[in-house]
């Protein structure tokens, strides 16, 4: 008896939408470029200010937000907490970039972040971290 082949469940998986909140223009541009080279990650917006980043994330609801811990006007930890309070149904998972402000795992988790990596991580490490978080994982570098 002939049976049609089962359809691959991954053939219609949409790209992961990523928002970047990074104050340094060079670091932001390099990360945008790296993410664009990654086939299934799509940058949907960038911001260099914490308050404006919060507004954009709540409005657009990206899958993952990469947020620098030391953003001006609203730091990354506070942004994570406010995101959870503003609209928890948004469901955006946050990857914090520790820019030397000594973000501990406990503080990152308490703020609602799904991960924290050093701002000095390579582009490949950051892309891997974004992909992992988008798939429900957590990632914390020491």
Apex CA 141: angle with CA 139 and CA 142, to 5°?
145
pLDDT of residue 140: 86
What distance in Å separates the CA atoms of residue 9 and residue 82, rounded to the nearest whole number? 35
Measured N-to-C along each axis, helices 123-134 and 25-37 cross at an angle, to the nearest 10 degrees, of 60
pLDDT of residue 3: 46
> What is residue 59's predicted lDDT score, i.e. its pLDDT?
92
Structure tokens at 1: 């008896």
Residues in the chain predicted with pLDDT less than 50, given as ranges, are 1-6
Query: What pLDDT shows up at residue 96?
Result: 92
- Cα–Cα distance between 118 and 107 in angstroms, integer? 14
Instruction: Choose which CATH entry (3.40.50.720, 3.40.50.2300, 3.20.10.10, 3.90.1170.50) describes domain 16-140.
Output: 3.40.50.2300
What is the reported pLDDT for 1? 44
How far is residue 126 from each of residues 3, 31, 36, 70, 96, measured CA to CA in Å?
43, 8, 12, 17, 10
- Residue 101 is predicted with a pLDDT of 66
Query: Which residues does 32 contact at the CB level (< 8 Å), separation at least 6?
Result: 20, 43, 46
pTM here is: 0.86
CA proximity to 60, closest of 72, 77, 46, 70? 46
């Amino acid at each position: 008896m002939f049976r049609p082949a089962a359809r691959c469940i991954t053939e219609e998986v949409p790209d992961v939408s990523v928002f970047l909140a990074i104050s340094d223009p060079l670091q932001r541009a390099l990360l945008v470029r790296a993410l664009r080279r990654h086939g299934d990650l799509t940058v949907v917006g960038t911001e260099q200010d914490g308050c404006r980043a919060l507004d954009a994330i709540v409005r657009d609801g990206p899958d993952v937000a990469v947020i620098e811990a030391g953003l001006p006007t609203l730091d990354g930890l506070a942004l994570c907490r406010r995101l959870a309070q503003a609209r928890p149904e948004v469901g955006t998972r946050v990857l914090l970039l520790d820019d030397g402000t000594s973000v501990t795992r406990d503080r990152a988790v308490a703020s609602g972040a799904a991960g924290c990596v050093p701002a000095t991580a390579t582009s490949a490490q950051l892309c891997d971290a974004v992909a992992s978080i988008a798939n429900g994982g957590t990632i914390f570098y020491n």
